[in-house]
A and B are shown apart, each in its own frame.
Chain A
C-alpha cells in the first residue's frame, strides 16, 4: 500500500468523524463537538494536502527521491486530482461557540465523497492516465478551481437543507479563479494556435467552457430564491468537478 493511500485512508476516516461530530453537535446542541469536528476536518485537510503534494509532485525532481524512498508507485492522474480537490473542499472553520445547526455537517459531504471516490479508484484494478501524462498547468489550475467549487457545493448543500446561509465568498473565489484560468487558456490558444479553443481535448474544451458559463449564470442569479440559487451553484460545481476529474 502506498503512502498516498494511507494518507487518503486516514483523511477519509477523519472526515467521516468530522461529519458525524458536526451532525451530533447540531442535533444534540453541543457546541464543543462542533469545534472538535472543525479540528478533525483541519487534520484531514492537512493529510490530504500532503497526499496531493506526493501524488502531483512524485515525478518532480525535488520530490522524486523522497517518493522513491517511500516506495511510491506512480499515482493515477484522476486520483491525484480527486485528492487535491478533496483537500481544498474542506471548509477552514473551527466551529462556532454557539449552538451549531445540523446542516453544518453537510459542508463536509463533497470532500468525503471525493476522498471516497479516490480510495475506490486506488483500489480498482483498472488504471487510468498516469500522473506523468496528467500533470499540466491547466489541469492543475482546473483542479484547484474544482476544489474551491466543491467547497461551494458543500455550502450550497447546507443552504438547500437549511434555506439560508452565507456562501458568497466561496462562490466568488471559485468563479474568479475559473474566469482567470479559462480566460488565460483561451488567450494562450488564440495567440499560439489562432483559435480560442483549439488543441485541447474535447472534455477539457467543452467542459471548461460549459462550467464557466454555468458559473456565470450562477453569478447572475443573485436575486433568485436562496434554495434555487444554491441548486444552481451545486449543478455548476458538479460539472466543474466532473471536468477536472475526467479531463483527458
Chain B
C-alpha cells in the first residue's frame, strides 16, 4: 500500500490549531499585559504626559531613553502586541471552525484510537451507570461502548472561542471608534463638552449626571467646592476673577481639590480658600488679602457644610457649598460585543472546567473490563499501573 503523504495545507491547519501555538500566543500576550502592571504606560493626554515623563525619568534614570526606544512604555499600543492579538484572533477563528466540525462529527461512533488496557472494576454496567450520572454519554457499538460528553463539551469550547472573539471585536471597536475622558471635574449645573460633540453635566442637586445618549459616565470621587458671590454696600454684585487672564464673572464655582484663589478687582481684594479635608461638605478656611500690598485683612472659617458670610471693607462675601464630582466619561461602540463575549467566555470556560471534553472506550472481555483512551480520574485509579504504584 503506497504511503499517504500529508497535504501541506493539512499540516499548516494542524499546526495553527494546535494547543501549543495558542499556549505560546497566550503566554506572549500575558507577559506584555503583565509588564504594563509595573512599567508605567504613556498616557494619551498631553497634560498627563509631562507629569508621566518626569515620574518615569525619576524612576528609571538614564535607562528611560533605551526603554522608550524598546517600546516598553507603550506595550499594548506596539506593533508586536497588535500582531500577537491578530494572530490570536486568527487562531481562535480556526479553532472555532474546527470545533464546529468536531461537533457535527461527534454524533458518530469512532473506533478506539489507542490500545486496550485492563481496569479493575466490578462490572461494566455499574461503571456505565456511574458515568451517566456524571453526564457522560455512553453509546453502544457491537463490541464496545464509546463514552463522551457530546455535544456539551464541544459546545462549551465553541462558547469559549466565540466569546473570546466577541471580546476582541468589542475591544477593536472601542479602539477604533470609542473614546474615554478621565478626571473631568464638574460642579452643580456645570456642563462640559466631550469629544465628537458629546456632553456631560452635573445636575443642580449635584448628585446625578446627565449626558448625551450612548455616553457612559462614572463619578470617581466627590470633594469639597463652593459657590462664591461678592456684594458691595449698594447691593450690587461685584465681578470676580480666578486668574489674571480669566473672564470676569459675578459668581464663581470653585472646586477645592487644593487651595484656590480668586480676585475682586473692583475692591482690590484677593481671597484664598483652603478646605479642611477632602469631604464634600467640609469646613473651609477663608483668608482675604488687600492687593496691593498683599496683607491679610480678614480670616474666617465656614460652617460645617461650607456656608459662610464675611464682610470686609464694604464687601460682603457669600459662600455656599457646591461639592465637585470627578467624572470619567466614555463612548464605547464595542460595549455590547465585549459584554456578550465576556459572558460567553466565562460560561464556556466554567462549563469546560466542570465537564471537560474527554472521549474514551470501554468493553467487556471474558469477565474483564478493558478501557482505551484518556480515562477520567475516577477510572485512572482503577488502572493496574496506578494500583501497582499504590501497593
B216 touches A193 (CB 8 A): yes
Q: B350 touches which one: A179, A192, A220 (CB < 8 A)?
A: A179
* Contact A194/B33 with A183-B342, A220-B26 known, Cβ cut-off 8 Å: no
Which of B36, B167, B178, B353 interacts with A176 by CB under 8 Å?
Answer: B353
B34 within 8 A of A: yes
Q: How far is the CB of B84 from chain A (nearest CB, A)?
A: 11
Indicate if the CB atoms of B37 and A193 lie closer than 8 Å.
no
In angstroms, Cα B37 to Cα A175, docked, is: 20
Query: Complex: how many Å from CA A196 to CA B31?
Result: 19
For the complex, is B46 an interface residue (Cβ under 8 Å from A)?
no
B-contacting residues, A141-177, CB 8 Å: 166, 168, 172, 175-176
With both beta carbons as reference points, the residue of chain A lying nearest to B34 in the complex is identified as: A210
The answer to the question of A31 belonging to the interface, with a C-beta cut-off of 8 Å to chain B, is: no
Which of B112-120, B184-192, B330-338 lies at the interface? B330-338
Given contacts A207-B37, A217-B23, contact A194 B353 (CB under 8 A): no
Minimum C-beta distance from B152 to chain A (A):
17
A190-B171 Cα distance, complex, nearest whole Å: 11
Complex formed: what's the CA distance from A209 to B34 in Å?
7
* Complex contact B34–A217 (CB within 8 A): no
A199 and B220 contact, Cβ closer than 8 Å, known pairs A183-B345, A187-B339, A187-B343: yes
**Closest residue of chain B to A221, judged by CB?**
B23
A117 contacts B by Cβ under 8 Å: no
Task: Kindly report which residue of chain A lies nearest to residue B346, judged by CB atoms.
Answer: A183
**Contact of A190 with B35 in the complex, beta carbons under 8 Å:** no
- A195 engages B346 (CB within 8 Å): no
Establish whether residues B30 and A190, one from each chain, have CB atoms under 8 Å apart when the complex forms: no
Consensus secondary structure, chain B interface: helix
Nearest to A184 among chain B residues (CB) is B346
- B35-66 contact mask (Cβ, 8 Å, vs A): 1 or 0: 11110110000000000000000000000000
How far apart are the CA atoms of A214 and B30 in the complex, in Å?
6
Q: Tell me whether B29 is interfacial, beta carbon within 8 Å.
A: yes
Chain B residue, CB-CB nearest to A217: B26
User: Are the CB atoms of B19 and A206 closer together than 8 Å?
Assistant: no
Q: What 0/1 readout, one digit per residue, does chain A (205-217) give for beta carbons within 8 Å of chain B? A: 1110111111011
Would B353 and A195 count as touching, CB distance under 8 A?
A: no
Interface positions, chain A 208-248, Cβ under 8 Å from B, are: 209-214, 216-217, 220-224, 232, 239, 243
Assembly CA distance A174 to B212 (angstroms) = 42
Neighbour of B328 across the interface among A166, A191, A198, A204, CB < 8 A: A198
The answer to whether A210 and B37 have CB atoms under 8 Å apart is: yes
Tell me if A53 is interfacial: C-beta within 8 Å of chain B.
Answer: no
| A10 close to chain B: CB less than 8 A | no
Contacts of B174 in A (CB 8 A): 195-196
Q: Given A180-B350, A194-B216, A202-B41, A222–B19 Cβ distance below 8 Å?
A: yes
B residues 314-358 touching A (CB-CB < 8 Å): 328-332, 335, 338-339, 342-343, 345-346, 349-350, 353
Whether, in the assembled complex, A98 has its beta carbon less than 8 Å from a beta carbon of chain B, the answer is: yes
Known A198-B330, A206-B37, A213-B30; 4 more pairs at CB < 8 Å: A98-B390, A175-B353, A217-B22, A221-B23
